[in-house]
Amino acid sequence: MTKEAELTKEYLENILESMEGGILTIDKNRRITSFNHSAEEITGFKREEVLNKDCRSILKSDNCERACPLEEVMETGKPIFNYEIAITTKTGDKVPVNITTSPLRSSDNKIIGAVENFRDLTKHKGLWGKLREERNKAQQYLNIAGVIIVAINKEGIITLINKRGCDVLGYTEDELIGKDWYNLCVPQKYREERKRDFEDLMAGYYKNVEDYENTILTKSGKEPIIAWHNTLIRDDDGHIIGTLSSGADITKRKQTEEELIRSEKMSSLGQLAASVVHEVNNPLAGIMIYVKLFLKKFDSGTLQSEGTDEQLLKMQKELERTTRIIRNLLDFARQSEPTMAPVEINRAVEAALLLVGNQISLENINLDKKLNPELPLVLADFDKIQQVLINIMLNATQAMPDGGTLTIATYVAEGVQIGDETKNTVRIDIRDTGVGIPKENLGKLFTPFFTTKEKGKGVGLGLSVVHGIIEKHDGKIDVTSKPDEGTTFSIYLEVWDEKEAENTHRRR
Ligand SMILES: Nc1ncnc2c1ncn2[C@@H]1O[C@H](COP(=O)(O)OP(=O)(O)O)[C@@H](O)[C@H]1O
Ligand SMILES: [Mg+2]
């Protein structure tokens, strides 16, 4: 070999070595003439072991017996691209490979052998297997999850739902995938509104609402309440292409919460009833006396018109007052649907005072009302806020067994830190000059069943219900107290901003 030829050979061998696929060449007699490093790795044979050996004695494959591609290529002179066979390695394992076989020609274009270029498919097969495994695992996780997981694309079509989702909705996966979420799973009365909100969300018109609650519609027509956590799905360019949501069925929890609030309400009603009865009884007894007197005079024909009309008017006034008190008590006792609406806080304070007021005067307590007439509205459940105020006012009166002063004040409070947000709020202070709360109890006030009152006087649920209601309103409640001086409860509720409300109260 000339020096030049030797260099070329070395150069070619280097190339062969550096190639990622296995490369094997044979001569016309099917003797192996080259075998690169990758070929060693795939087959397990060393080059020294195979060089000059008949390829059939080394790399047996199913094809060796039937039509040998190497022979075919050498006969026809045409390459065979990308076929798959299993070759047997040195250790006897079968390895699937993808092979391209091409003829080798001499400089005068005669076929002198063939070259096989093969890739180990187990690496890829393994990858596919792994992917499949991962997908199954992910599916399993999705299905084990105790929450509903549902993905909806930009058009509102369900693209993924887990087993829990199917269970809650009462459909099979097949009945859900590819269907319109809004038409199938949203109660009719909310459908249009939520569809519109979703379209706005997809169009990027407003910020994603991460956590919210709403009702869904099941196959059997039930409407469970779901607490959702929502994530926007975006494509590589950042465009919104759908949502992925997890949701927990909180219907039961909601019911228990409502029941607790209701039973607490009953207990404060019990406390209010005594004073209300007292308040109503006195004027009624007075009116009774007048009525009897009138009847007597009427019978004996001595009823004079002079003074009578004045007395009748007085009676009418008293009757109106008692009716109002009773109506208020009944209103308060009534079970109301939770409804959020813009509320004038001063009106809620007056409504609470109308019921607690009797108790206050009975207990020798002065009422000091400082209501700011210029308060902005807050978004709230009127009945629930009334209940909060009554609970705190009743506690205050109970803290002043020997009388004192109850101050109710309302303020505008801007820039108040609630959670990790700064909000403009309306603040309601309820201050008493009562026994106060020892420091060690301050942290326990809002825990259920914490009470310092004797049996029958309190069960310790009032403030925990108060706390629950204020939390639901995304508000805040603070307490400051000094033993023997008194206690102040401050409630903060966010000011209702009509424009802002449009954005944050949109629901799916
Ligand atoms: N204004 C107050 N002054 C003194 N202590 C109070 C006041 N409000 C609440 N507390 C304390 O908090 C406890 C819990 O109140 P609450 O949850 O309403 O339950 P209850 O009134 O049934 O005891 C009361 O037992 C009392 O010790
Ligand atoms: Mg109480």
Distance 477 CA to ligand 1 centre (A): 14
Specify the pLDDT at position 128. 58
Q: Using most ligand atoms within 8 A of CB, pick from 389, 431, 463 the residue to mutate for ligand 1.
A: 463
Specify the pLDDT at position 62. 67
Specify the pLDDT at position 500. 64
Helix axes 345-362, 251-299, angle to 10 degrees: 60
Task: Judge if 145-249 and 253-504 fold alike in CATH terms.
Answer: no
> Does the beta carbon of 435 sit less than 6 angstroms from any atom of ligand 1?
yes
- Identify which of 292, 290, 293 has the alpha carbon closest to the alpha carbon of residue 315: 290
Domain ranges of the chain: 3-125, 145-249, 253-504
The lowest-confidence range among 199-208, 332-341, 401-410 is: 332-341
Specify the pLDDT at position 392. 96
CATH for 253-504 (3.30.565.10, 3.30.365.10, 3.40.50.300, 3.30.360.10): 3.30.565.10
CB 180 within 8 A of CB 192: no
Atom of ligand 1 nearest to the CA of 460: 19
CATH for 3-125 (3.30.450.20, 1.10.540.10, 1.10.1060.10, 2.60.40.1930): 3.30.450.20
Q: Average pLDDT of 63-87?
A: 82
End-to-end Cα spacing for the chain: 81
Distance between CA 501 and CA 341 in Å, rounded?
A: 11
- Identify which of 205, 203, 216, 206 has the alpha carbon closest to the alpha carbon of residue 245: 216
Distance between CA 385 and CA 448 in Å, rounded?
A: 19
Distance between CA 422 and CA 415 in Å, rounded?
A: 5
Q: Average pLDDT of 186-208?
A: 90
Query: Does 508 have pLDDT greater than 50?
Result: no
Distance between CA 335 and CA 355 in Å, rounded?
A: 17
Specify the pLDDT at position 507. 42
> Does the beta carbon of 434 sit less than 6 angstroms from any atom of ligand 1?
yes
Residues in the chain: 508
> Does the beta carbon of 396 sit less than 6 angstroms from any atom of ligand 1?
yes
Q: Average pLDDT of 418-424?
A: 91
* Tens digit of each residue's pLDDT (9 = 90 or more) over 115-124: 989 888 876 6
Query: Does 36 have pLDDT greater than 50?
Result: yes
Nearest ligand, CA of residue 450?
Answer: 1
Query: Does 257 have pLDDT greater than 60?
Result: yes
> Does the beta carbon of 437 sit less than 6 angstroms from any atom of ligand 1?
yes
Please provide the average confidence, as pLDDT, over all residues in the chain: 87
CB 329 within 8 A of CB 276: yes
Query: Does 471 have pLDDT greater than 70?
Result: yes
State how far Cα 387 lies from the chain centre.
28
- Global model pTM greater than 0.85: no
Bigger pLDDT: 13 vs 81: 81
Distance 459 CA to ligand 1 centre (A): 10
* Tens digit of each residue's pLDDT (9 = 90 or more) over 314-363: 899 889 888 888 887 887 887 777 789 999 999 999 999 988 988 898 88
Percent of the chain with pLDDT over 70: 95
Which spans in 67-111 are helix H? 69-76
* Tens digit of each residue's pLDDT (9 = 90 or more) over 144-169: 778 999 999 999 999 999 999 999 99
Atom of ligand 1 nearest to the CA of 458: 22
Q: Which residues contact 459 (CB under 8 A, 6 or more apart)?
A: 267, 449, 451
Specify the pLDDT at position 158. 94
pLDDT band of 31, cuts 50, 70, 90: very high
Residue with the smallest CA separation from ligand 1 atom 10 is 395
Bigger pLDDT: 15 vs 418: 418
> Does the beta carbon of 379 sit less than 6 angstroms from any atom of ligand 1?
no
Query: Does 53 have pLDDT greater than 80?
Result: yes
Specify the pLDDT at position 165. 95
Q: Using most ligand atoms within 8 A of CB, pick from 451, 461, 487, 488 the residue to mutate for ligand 1.
A: 451
Residue with the smallest CA separation from ligand 1 atom 12 is 445
* Neighbour-count burial of 386, counting CB atoms closer than 10 A to its CB (0-12 exposed, 13-18 middle, 19+ buried): buried
Q: Using most ligand atoms within 8 A of CB, pick from 356, 395, 400, 447 the residue to mutate for ligand 1.
A: 395
The region, left, alpha or beta by phi > 0 then psi within -120 to 50, assigned to residue 404 is left
Query: Does 386 have pLDDT greater than 90?
Result: yes
> Does the beta carbon of 433 sit less than 6 angstroms from any atom of ligand 1?
no
pLDDT band of 238, cuts 50, 70, 90: confident
Q: Average pLDDT of 65-78?
A: 82
> Does the beta carbon of 466 sit less than 6 angstroms from any atom of ligand 1?
no
Query: Does 399 have pLDDT greater than 90?
Result: yes
Query: Does 85 have pLDDT greater than 90?
Result: no
pLDDT band of 132, cuts 50, 70, 90: low
Cα dist. 500→172, 194, 207, 385 in Å? 39, 18, 11, 22
pLDDT band of 439, cuts 50, 70, 90: very high
Distance 446 CA to ligand 1 centre (A): 9
Specify the pLDDT at position 461. 86
For residues 316, 322, 324, 328, the Cα torsion angle rounded to the nearest 10 degrees is -170
Helix (H) or strand (E) holding 105: strand 94-105
For residues 125, 129, 130, 133, the Cα torsion angle rounded to the nearest 10 degrees is 180
Specify the pLDDT at position 217. 96
Highest mean pLDDT: which of 18-32, 35-49, 285-299, 403-417? 403-417
Q: Average pLDDT of 391-395?
A: 95
Specify the pLDDT at position 236. 85
Superfamily grouping for domain 145-249:
PAS domain (3.30.450.20)
Q: Is 351 helix (H, G, I), strand (E, B) or coil?
A: helix
Distance 450 CA to ligand 1 centre (A): 8
Instruction: Quote the Cα angle for 22-28-31, to 5°.
Output: 55
* Tens digit of each residue's pLDDT (9 = 90 or more) over 487-507: 999 999 999 987 666 655 444
Q: Average pLDDT of 65-73?
A: 78
